[in-house]
Structure 1
Amino acid sequence: MATLVFVHGWSVTNTSAYGQLPQQVQQQAASAGLSLTLADVWLSEYVSFDDAVTMADLVRAFDHALRDLHLLDASFDCITHSTGGPVIREWLRAQRDRPATHSTIRLSHLIMLAPANFGSALAQLGKGLLGRLKSWFGGVEPGQRILDWLELGSAASLSLNLDYIHSDDPLNRGQFQFVLIGDRPDRSLYDHLNSYTGEDGSDGVVRIAAANLNAHHAVLSPRTNSTGGIDRLALNLTAGPRCAFKMIAGAAHSGDLVGIMAAAAPATVAAILRCLQVRSASDYSALCDAFDHENASRDADKVELEPAGPFAPRVHIHDPRSLLIVRLTDEAGEPLTGAGFLLTAGKPASADLLPEGFLLDRQANSKQHTTISLFLDYSLLAGDDRVADPRNSRKTLRPAVISHRPYGASVQPIDLLGLVHHALAESSPDDDLFGMLAPHQTTVLDVVLPRKLCEGVFRLTRNLTPEDFSKPVPGPLID
């Protein structure tokens, strides 16, 4: 077996964060038919809590540290946690794009535990007052530049993920990538000042959909014709390469008791060893299928009853969620500042027909204000069967929900008039936008509006007498 490198997450300051996981993997490797000694295991110590450190700095420093290992077979396997996943994925992209400056050492297996691949809703809060106070008491900085990358909808994270969606399948390079994530928060770590730490559909830090590398890129762009003064937008959809993805029941992002890494629970270790045993494309496909089957079984048993002391338990219905990251621009690449974006349902399309409770959270990126992340309840959008109370099957926790398809979208720009402006736009009635979503997955949606340019922007005249054009008449639209 190749050398195994462990890479921790954001703001870690001690290798105790790895818990017993390296030892457990090493001890149980032999029973799984893998040869792994302690000499083959390396633990990363990288600095993410210095405000000056960027993701590119980490990539460059990791590449330098990797060269120092002097690997005999010039290959290694890697197990990451949280931000460690994006760090290694950024290194893989740099290794591909800049081979003259980066190591040629080959990564065979990349096993990501709770990776913040599409970011975390907590990153925006981590840069705020509470995050800074926590860092100050801990004697470290919050790691501003890394948090910028981790914020939902950041330009840097979208660049990496769109590159992954549109690039060659890693399998074609003999590389196997895996995502393992806990299916619920650690309720004992709930922060009453920050509801994201107890958010269903996440592990308490990273949303399940934001970890999953099975993702889509959707584009709503202008059709050739418009009707009734409204621009029609047609949907184009691209799916990324298939990635092995598994939810670990009962595991959370962190913590010694149920944290997916530090707790080193048997289920986590067993899943890691299954990943390390993959040796071919057929092995990988079979494991993807097995994980999908296990995830479906987990989704079928989706009611959690959280003990609440002397009171009735709190009920959590673990519906699959979808993360929709929307970017609003026009065809010149200009952001549509101030534009309204609405999802719609039914025929005729209306925002009033959307199912109640489908939108769980909305967060705009702090640097790219026209990039908005919507956290959606996939089951409510798809329609769902009655949810029975596990304590009494005759009791209903939630009645059956019917689908409100087809789903669409409309855009309301604020500049409907002027020399340069935009018009109202909506998705084509022929496109059901539900098809761009998937359970536990992320979709990046680019909404691109036509840029209306009037003749008055540039005119030629034969009148040689001085003429004031400080208040130009717009005139007809330029085709």
Structure 2
Amino acid sequence: MKLVFIHGWSVTSTETYGELPQVLASLADPSLAIEIKHIYLGRYISFNDAVTLDDIAIAFESARKRELGDSEFSVITHSTGGPVVRAWLSRFYPLALAQVPLKHLIMLAPANHGSALAQLGKSRISRLKAWFDGVEPGQRVLDWLELGSDGQHQLNHEWLDWNCLEKGVYPFVFTGETIDKALYDYMNSYTGEVGSDGVVRVAAANLNFSCLELMQQESQTCISFDGQCAQLLQLTEQKSSLSQYVFDVIPKASHSNKKMGILNAVTRRNAQNKPVVQRILASLLVESVSDYKVLRQRLVDNAQRQDNNRYCMMVVRICDDLGHGVTDFDFFLLCGDDYHAGNLPRGLILDKQRNSINGNTITLYLDANKLHKLKAGKLGFKVSARPDYGFSYYKSAEFHCQPEQVSQWLCADQTLMLDITLKRYIADDTFSFAQVGDEPSFKSLAGD
């Protein structure tokens, strides 16, 4: 088995993965006949502002052909490397193609749904030891990594239709949720955020996620908590991962660093006691869908995390029925029999971040346990968009979940993509025909 480690731009040796490659080669089942390969993407593409995640995926294909030829291989990625390989799969092995050379995709702390830190900017990110090791990242890569980015939206939507197991590709996600105080940035609380490894949230790493599409309806209305009339949103599509993917949270693992880093803390001396090593070795032994499902169930059964440390993300994207992104809006969570914004449990919303490039997307970070304590078990969403009058405008929209939907859609350690389509109203007098003899100037009709 050719086992490939993907290295970043500044890497000039295998030290970035600690002693993990050597450990796996020595501890793996002899039947695997592991042959370690290293691909340094820095040799193919530089880390500058022009580089996109798709560019890196294309560079990986070039590197794969040059280093591996047509050989089947498995890969271990870290952080941004996970989305890179997923983007490579999506680009070079679409649904119609059956043969994929990749067998095991083992992702360590992958930013599959981005990172809250990406919005900090290049210079600040480069000073965070937990992520890029002092190298200033390219802006286009950071744009992809920012919560709620267009790139994530596209790739994750494609992933919902891409049946990995059916194609013989076995994905695994292993991430930590321990904060290494040595890497904590006292100027930024995200580096010490609960439910994260200091860089990536557990919910943002998980490949088990759902997507809902809601569309505004004119025919049904309700009186909202503020006394105003709102049109109801209708559920038009619901999707979740075609397969339940292997996922596990590694105890006492942070994003990086030699002390607790999920990969570079592994040494020959401590390898036998490192859960991440055990998980990787078990993953490499998977040869069939049945093997995969057995491993997944075993990890679910053995999970020993405390129920009071569970969080989830909701990525809300607002567009109108003409395809425009709606950037000026208020988004409310509602709760209880009367679906009121004032009924939410205290501390339910831990964070709320609007994407800095496409302002029609916000990401909410929620305490999953408190979702189960909602009054009457009911949750709702309300969107109040602007402009709400004039030639082109929007009306408020609202959606009311039922208790069983809340537990189904907002799961601990997972992300919900919520795509909302509003109706764009056009005033009747936006276009009119002038009559002979009318006042020649119609400037006054334009209003303020």
Q: TM over 0.5, yes or no?
A: yes
- 1:274 has 2:275 as partner: no
| 1:9/1:82 contact within 8 Å kept | no
- 1:5 has 2:7 as partner: no
How is 1:12-161 mapped onto 2 (pairs within 5 angstroms)?
14-30=13-29, 33-36=31-34, 40-47=35-42, 49-71=47-69, 74-97=71-94, 106-127=101-122, 129-131=123-125, 140-161=135-156
- The 1:246–1:98 alpha-carbon spacing in structure 2 relative to 1, beyond 3 Å, is closer
Mean Cα deviation higher: 361-370 or 49-58: 49-58
Q: Output the amino acid matched with 1:426.
A: E
The gaps in structure 2 that reach 5 residues or longer are 223-228
- 1:354 has 2:356 as partner: no
Q: Distance in 2 between matches of 1:139 and 1:253?
A: 15
Q: Distance in 2 between matches of 1:13 and 1:465?
A: 80
Q: Distance in 2 between matches of 1:418 and 1:4?
A: 60
The gaps in structure 1 that reach 5 residues or longer are 301-317, 384-401, 475-479
Q: Which residue of 1 aligns with 2:225?
A: none
1:222-267 CA-partner distances (Å, limit 9, x unpaired)? 2351336421102342111221111111111111121111112521
| 2:200/2:255 contact within 8 Å kept | yes
Q: Which residue of 2 aligns with 1:212?
A: 206
Q: Normalized against structure 2, the TM-score is what?
A: 0.88
| 1:201/1:320 contact within 8 Å kept | yes
Question: Offset at 1:319?
Answer: 1.8
1:377-436 CA-partner distances (Å, limit 9, x unpaired)? 0001113xxxxxxxxxxxxxxxxxx65520001111222211211111111466855542
Q: Which residue of 2 aligns with 1:388?
A: none
Question: Which of these residues, 388, 392, 415, is aligned with residue 416 of structure 1?
Answer: 388
Q: Which residue of 1 aligns with 2:249?
A: 247
**SS in structure 2 of the partner of residue 268 of structure 1:** helix
Question: Offset at 1:470?
Answer: 3.5
Q: Which residue of 1 aligns with 2:377?
A: 405
1:156-194 CA-partner distances (Å, limit 9, x unpaired)? 1111011112x1311111111110111322233222112
Aligned length: 426
Percent identity (aligned): 40
Q: Which residue of 1 aligns with 2:263?
A: 261
Mean Cα deviation higher: 205-214 or 9-18: 9-18
Q: Distance in 2 between matches of 1:7 and 1:70?
A: 13
- The 1:299–1:139 alpha-carbon spacing in structure 2 relative to 1, beyond 3 Å, is closer
Question: Offset at 1:90?
Answer: 0.7
Question: Offset at 1:10?
Answer: 7.3
Q: Output the amino acid matched with 2:151.
A: A
Q: Distance in 1 between matches of 2:396 and 2:254?
A: 44
Question: Which of these residues, 324, 330, 335, is aligned with residue 340 of structure 1?
Answer: 330
Q: Output the amino acid matched with 1:215.
A: F
- The 1:111–1:366 alpha-carbon spacing in structure 2 relative to 1, beyond 3 Å, is same
Q: Normalized against structure 1, the TM-score is what?
A: 0.82
Q: Which residue of 1 aligns with 2:305?
A: 298
| 1:325/1:373 contact within 8 Å kept | yes
Q: Output the amino acid matched with 1:255.
A: N
**SS in structure 1 of the partner of residue 28 of structure 2:** helix
Q: Output the amino acid matched with 1:448.
A: T
